[in-house]
Structure 1
Amino acid sequence: MNFLSHYYFDRKTTNCYFILGTVLPDLLKNADKTIVLHPEHLVHTNPKVNAIIQGWNKHLLVDKYFHSAAFFLTHSHTLKNLLAPVITESPVKPFFLGHIAIELILDNLLITTNKISVNAFYDHLEDCDLSVIREFLDFAGMKNPDVFFKFYEEFKRSRYLNTYVNIEQITYALKRICMRVWVNPFTPQQEADMTGILLNYRLGLIKSFTSIYTEIGEQINNG
């Protein structure tokens, strides 16, 4: 799941460090895809650092349930098949595109149906003391935390996730993600075609998309 979908499960949580932890694995991946940390079983003397670790573990749990859910498997496969014909000359693998597309569509739907407040999410991140985050990263074994902080400060400043309200920005986000691997992933025509497909697919999900959050929530509660 993407940032806002992870936030949805803990949108009523007041601990900003826990909220940060629920999205930190993806933030680190966005900052530098070579960063690999495994703090899952660590325990720190600082409760704020432990809250980040607990949030991190929640992230891993949500992703485990999501990626094995029939919802994800069905919709990522369908989107792969819909998008494949319009990216035939692209180096991007259709299955990769289908996977990311359904996650971004879900974030868009959470915003456009008022299930979450994007600004509230960012406010939580702003409330986190950078020294506590650095303490966590050092404890988890990260050698150069400044690489992360450079990305993180811009992530907070731009409040980029607010743009997910527009389906065109979902295409742009897909392109940006693909550009981490491929230099010129799509032509302007391919982007336009993808936007049309994503828009139609989103419309078909509006009434039923919350079922995946209900399903995962029940699995977490019963686990």
Structure 2
Amino acid sequence: MQPYHSAVNYFAHGLPWLDHPYVVAGTAVPDWLSVVDRQARVRARTVQPHADVSGPEDAQLAAGILQHLDDDQWFHGTRGFVEVTGAMTRSFREVLGPGDGMRCSFLGHIVTELLLDRVLIDQHPGLLDRYYDVLEQVEPEFIEANVNRWARQPTRQLDPFIPLFLSERFLDDYSDSERLLRRLNQVMRRVKLPSLPRDVLSVLDEGCVLVSDRQEDLLPAEQYPGLS
């Protein structure tokens, strides 16, 4: 089992909630499940009745899950996301060739998200360590038990996966294009797409500048609280 992902913003989702460990964990749950057990998907309608940021730990976990689902809904609908993913897709196509459309579209989407985490991590020195420290405070067994109350079907994969996610710390690699490429190729293998050549390093570097320039369009202030 590998602690990698298809398309996530772990740090962006969790950053506003670092004072609430179980909310942070909740913001990661949908993506953890997408890695370890896609059948155990959580739905807003089953989580909503249990959610309360100020409530007990299970209510905070539910609130974090709802926050993630809400974040995804508005984020993927922003003008910034549509335009940046389009630009990233074209950049990958220029390197990989016009006959590689599916992989380029997939990369345009996930790399936009990974580079947004990269930009936020670079902007907030020390907070990635705090993100992991916060998640070290949660109980994986407790998280799995509560997710199984709300998920479409139960899973036994979440409890063992969370410590692996914490020990691997792959978010550390986002700030270096060489290491990010290695992580991307792990994703490519997991989704059964061809590995990426080193030629895409220039796309990652240029994409980081683009994402930084369009950050306000990707994370509108009226939608994303950041650290305020």
TM over 0.5: yes
Question: Which of 67, 70, 81 is matched with 1:72 structurally?
Answer: 81
What whole-Å deviation, never above 9, does each CA across 1:138-179 have from its counterpart, x for those lacking one? 312475543122222111112221111211222223222222
Q: Are the counterparts in 2 of residues 19 and 55 from structure 1 also a CA contact under 8 Å?
A: yes
1:159 to 169, 194, 219: 169
Structure 2: gaps spanning 5 or more residues: 1-7
| Conservation of the 8 A alpha-carbon contact between 2:41 and 2:151 | no
Give the conservation status (yes or no) of the 8 Å contact 1:171–1:195.
Answer: yes
Q: Quick check: 164-173 or 52-61, which moved more?
A: 164-173
What secondary structure sits across from 1:219 in the alignment? coil
The 1:34/1:131 distance shift into structure 2, 3 A limit, reads closer
Q: How does 1:93-104 map to 2 (within 5 A)?
A: 93-104=103-114
Distance of 2:157 and 2:132 partners within structure 1: 20
What TM-score do you get using the length of structure 1 for normalisation?
0.83
User: Which one of the candidate residues 19, 38, 51 is aligned to 2:24?
Assistant: 19
Matched, 1:41 2:48: yes
Gaps of 5+ in 1: none
| Cα 1:204–1:37 shift into 2, 3 Å | closer
Which residue of the other structure, out of 134, 144, 161, is the alignment partner of 2:144?
134
Of 188, 199, 212, which residue of structure 2 is paired with 1:206? Answer: 212
Asked if 2 retains the 8 angstrom alpha-carbon contact of 1:91 and 1:185, the reply is no
How much is the aligned-residue C-alpha RMSD, in angstroms? 2.6
1:124-143 deviation digits (Å, cap 9, x = unpaired): 11101234213312312475
When structure 1 is superposed on structure 2, of 83-92 and 56-65 the one drifting more is 83-92
> Displacement, 1:209?
2.1
TM-score by length of 2: 0.82
